[in-house]
Amino acid sequence: MISKEELCGVIDALGALTVVEIYTVAKELSLLRGSVPLTQPSIKNICEDAEKEHLIAVVSWEEVEGLEENDLSYFISGPNAFPEIPFELSEVIDILEMTKREVDLSRVASRFSKNLHKRIKNLESKIDSINKGKFHQKDLENLEHRYSDILNQYYDYNFWLPGDMSAIGAEIQGLSSRIETLKSAQGI
């Protein structure tokens, strides 16, 4: 069995891995430990859960140095990762003849900034539609939930990725003001 912390450690040590590569490493780790390997769908589920928690993040081949064009997704260590490198990993790396991949974090930062900007614009559109008509308390709760998710993602990425994300921070502050205005109009 591989924990999320060990998953982060494996990915951190090797830079960027596909889910199939993670499965292969996890299988070798299990064999060296004398335990039953997880299935590939189980490894995929662990990766999906870890991604939701921002323990790992998904990148494309374009953001990993030295790869040829492909349609695979690669996992990298994320902003909330606390990597725990498995003791047996160096032996697994030797057995599988793996090398560390370098990730271009400036490209990752650019894409994540664009995605956050898009999410902000979508939320602004939702606020605009609410401003034009009646809305329920559930609508406001949904807006606040989406805003909170954007804010948390911004803080995670802002400290983790290189570059200046102050423009995104200003957009998020504008969102906060608009939501507060809606709440005031409802007497909340």
Q: Could you tell me the two tokens for 61?
A: 């081949």
User: Could you write out the DSSP letters of every residue in 81-150?
Assistant: ------TTHHHHHHHHT--PPPB-HHHHHHHHHHHHHHHHHHHHHHHHHHHTS---HHHHHHHHHHHHHH
CB 156 within 8 A of CB 79: yes
Q: Could you tell me the two tokens for 50?
A: 């870890």
**Residues linked to residue 58 through DSSP beta bridges, in sequence order:** 75
With a pLDDT cut of 90, the percent of the chain lying above it is: 77
> Among candidates 116, 128, 103, which has minimal Cα distance to 153?
116
Does 162 score more than 80 pLDDT?
A: yes
Q: What mean pLDDT, rounded, does the chain reach?
A: 92
pLDDT of residue 165: 86
Domains of the chain listed by start with CATH number: 4-96 (1.10.10.10), 105-185 (no CATH)
**How far is it, in rounded angstroms, from Cα 169 to Cα 181?**
19
Query: Please, which pLDDT band fits residue 131 given cuts at 50, 70 and 90?
Result: confident
pLDDT of residue 140: 85
Q: What is the pTM of this model?
A: 0.85
pLDDT of residue 128: 86
Radius of gyration of the chain (CA): 20
pLDDT of residue 147: 95
Q: Could you tell me the two tokens for 52?
A: 């939701």
Q: pLDDT higher for 2 or 74?
A: 74
> Among candidates 107, 143, 121, 91, which has minimal Cα distance to 16?
107
The string of pLDDT tens digits covering residues 62-94 is: 999 999 999 999 999 999 999 999 999 999 999
pLDDT of residue 94: 97
Does 188 score more than 70 pLDDT?
A: no
The string of pLDDT tens digits covering residues 143-161 is: 999 999 999 989 988 989 8
